[in-house]
Each structure stands twice: as structure tokens, then as C-alpha cells.
Amino acid sequence: MKRTPLYDRHTEMSAKMVEFGGWEMPVQYSGILEEHNATRTAAGLFDISHMGQVNVHGRDALAFLQHIATQDVATIGLGFANYALMCYPDGGIVDDIFIYNLADYYLVVVNASNTDKDVAWMQQHAVGFDVQLDNISPDTTMLALQGPKAETILARVAQPNVADLPFHGVMRGMLLGHIPTIIARTGYTGEDGFELFLSNDYAATVWDALLEEGHADGIRPIGLGARDSLRFEPKLALYGHEIHEAINPYEAGLGWVVKLDKGPFIGSDALRAIKATGPQRKLVGLEMIGRGIARGGYPVATVDGDQVGEVTTGMPAPTVGKNLALALVRADVAKLGNELDVLIRGKPIRARIIKTPFYQTRYKK
């Protein structure tokens, strides 16, 4: 398995390590619930160096990204970033990505388990474009500092003033006065926060400094367990669960990131047809009425026993205090208030479709 530059720090902090996307990563330090609550109430520091980063240079960089992404990349202004999808010709999802406009090039962030696949996909479809793709993942440390006190903590060690950085803004800056860093006001928790891109050479220095600087503010290192519960509550998709090659953006509730009016792109014809007829399945939120916890992969059926879908993610939601789930179900049963059964080890447990997201985001806008 691969290891991030911070592997030794995680083991020194007695983190429980697990395999994730081919990487040996911390799933928890002090405990998932404590780490979840620390991020919601104070600040959490995440090592997300397993994510993939690709620099896109060249005269046709914008045209190339317009060709492979569902988002209208032309609307991502200088010093800003936005969420996008890459789709197959049939409308299924290659991956969800973030695109950062850094003036002389674009930075594209992809999911850890998909890095090799995504880079190959991008290279395949770069033919005919005057564009250069640089996979900088092996040399890049990526950290996320999230939570209501993230700005206060980062502002003490970063230049220029991060308080002036808008939501989805991105800039070049310095940490600790001498460490070149790309700083973005983006994240995957539903809270205000930042993502930091820096050389592996400085990984441990920055990790230690942020934990020390934020100690009095209640900062905690956060593992993959709380990262999952934090993204689940505001209904942020996870590849392999809410999105993958057999799920299209309209089924996943991500039609808002498909900009059909921008012109042709890979998958646009299929997506236009799906939008016109409506998706056959929809992603819904479930609240468990009966006793039981819905987990990813559990079948979902009508109360009459007709199987209509499956759970994509399910768990006790710490902030909400309920057993909740996201499920991809047949469109005709995806109505608010409708009751369905989740088959937990073959036993039907009643659930009700409720409004999503379960948690309202608190981004700084």
C-alpha cells in the first residue's frame, strides 16, 4: 500500500490505520464521534494527500477541460474553483473533480482510488488539444483545515490574509513565512474551511504547526471515519457510493453541475436525453423508523417486498442524532414521506424518505 508523507505522524499519534483506495490511511485518532464533533464545533485537520492532483497547461487548457467536464469551466474565474464531473459517453460518471483556475494553468483534483484511471482518461482525450498534463500527485501534500475556527487558525500562519479569500476562492500564499502553498477555500465537510497544497518536503512542518497553533481553539486531527460522516450529513457524494460508472448525474442529484448549454462535451448527448425523459432512479434520504442501521449495499424494498434499489451510504448521523441513509431507488417510489423497507441481514426494517441534505452547510459566502 502507498503511504502519505505524514504516515509517521499518524502512527506517532496512535491513529488506527486502514487500507483505502490503495493507501494506508488513518481512520481515526481519538474516536470518530469526537473528531466529527470537533470539526463541527471547532476545527479539524485532515491529511488528504492520497487525493490526486493534475496540472493542466497549454493554449487549449480551457477547451480541453470544457471537453471532458460537465461544468462550464469558462465560468470559473481567475482565482476561483468549482465542482465538476467527468462522464463516459453513456452518461455514467468517471469521477467527480474540483477544478482550480490559477491563471497560467488549471489544477484538477481527483479521487485517490481513481488517480491512475482519471489521468489515463484525461490523456486519452487530450489528443488533438494543445495541452500538457502533469500528474503532480506523488510530490504534493494536500491538507484540509475545516470548521468554524479554521479561518482564525490559518490566518495566524498564512499570508496573505485568508479572511479575504471568498468561498471557492484559490490563491498562492505562504505558510509560516517561507513555505509556498496554494490555499483554497474549499472542502468536503459542509463547514467553512480550507484546502492546502504544498511540497511533500514541508508536510510534517505544516501539520505540526497547524496542530500547535490551533491547540487552544480545540483543533483535532481527523481520520477517514469522521470524514465520511461529515460529508454524509450535507449529502456530499462519495465515488463508489453515490456516484460511479453505472450512475448518471441526474440519478445522483447532481444535475446542477451538468451545463448542457455550454456546448458538446463527453457524455452530453446521453445526458441531454436522460434529462429530457427523467432519470429512472433517484438518490433519496432515509430516516430509519425501525431499530437498525442501514449500511451501504443493503437492499431497499417497498413495504410489499418489491426491491426498488439499495443504500449507498448509511450510518448514525452524529450532528442530527438519527440513523439515516442515502439510497438510490426507483424514481416512481422516490417521494417525500414514502415508507420503504431496508433489508438488514435479510430482515425488513422500516424507513421513511425525508428531505436532504440532512445538515445545512455553513460555508462562508
User: Does residue 38 sit in the same domain as residue 177?
Assistant: yes
User: Does residue 148 sit in the same domain as residue 43?
Assistant: yes
For residues 192 and 233, give the distance between their C-alpha atoms in angstroms, rounded to a whole number: 15
User: Does residue 163 sit in the same domain as residue 223?
Assistant: yes
Counting residues of the chain whose pLDDT is more than 70, the rounded percentage is: 100
User: Does residue 38 sit in the same domain as residue 149?
Assistant: yes
User: Does residue 148 sit in the same domain as residue 227?
Assistant: yes
Give mean pLDDT, residues 15-32.
Answer: 97
Contact predicate 219/42, CB 8 Å: yes
Residue partners of 353: CB distance under 8 A and separation at least 6: 284, 285, 286, 334, 335, 336, 337, 338, 339, 340
Tally DSSP H helices, then E strands, for the chain: 8, 20
Tell me the pLDDT of the chain averaged across its residues: 98
Evaluate whether residue 328 is within a structural domain: yes
Evaluate whether residue 209 is within a structural domain: yes
For residues 281 and 142, give the distance between their C-alpha atoms in angstroms, rounded to a whole number: 35
Per-residue model confidence (pLDDT) at position 37: 98
- Is residue 253 over pLDDT 90? yes
User: Does residue 160 sit in the same domain as residue 19?
Assistant: yes
Q: Give residue 311's domain range.
A: 280-365
- Is residue 98 over pLDDT 90? yes
**Which CATH number covers residue 291?**
2.40.30.110
Evaluate whether residue 174 is within a structural domain: yes
User: Does residue 285 sit in the same domain as residue 360?
Assistant: yes
**Which CATH number covers residue 178?**
3.30.1360.120
Give mean pLDDT, residues 24-30.
Answer: 98
Counting residues of the chain whose pLDDT is more than 90, the rounded percentage is: 99
C-alpha closest to that of 194 among 240, 160, 147:
147
Q: How confident is the model at residue 365 (pLDDT cuts 50, 70, 90)?
A: confident
Q: Model confidence over 57-79: pLDDT tens digits? A: 999 999 999 999 999 999 999 99
* Farthest-apart Cα atoms in the chain, separation: 64
Q: Model confidence over 136-194: pLDDT tens digits? A: 999 999 999 999 999 999 999 999 999 999 999 999 999 999 999 999 999 999 999 99
How many domains, the chain?
Answer: 2
Give mean pLDDT, residues 8-36.
Answer: 97
Residue by residue, DSSP assigns 47-100 as E-TTSEEEEEESTTHHHHHHHHBSS-GGGS-TTBEEEEEEE-TTS-EEEEEEEE
User: Does residue 221 sit in the same domain as residue 287?
Assistant: no
Q: How confident is the model at residue 283 (pLDDT cuts 50, 70, 90)?
A: very high
Evaluate whether residue 157 is within a structural domain: yes
Per-residue model confidence (pLDDT) at position 306: 98
337: phi then psi, degrees, rounded to nearest 5: 90, -15
Evaluate whether residue 255 is within a structural domain: no
Residue 14: CB atoms within 10 Å: 10
Give mean pLDDT, residues 109-125.
Answer: 97
Evaluate whether residue 131 is within a structural domain: no
Residue partners of 39: CB distance under 8 A and separation at least 6: 146, 147, 189, 191, 220, 222, 226, 230
Give mean pLDDT, residues 40-57.
Answer: 98
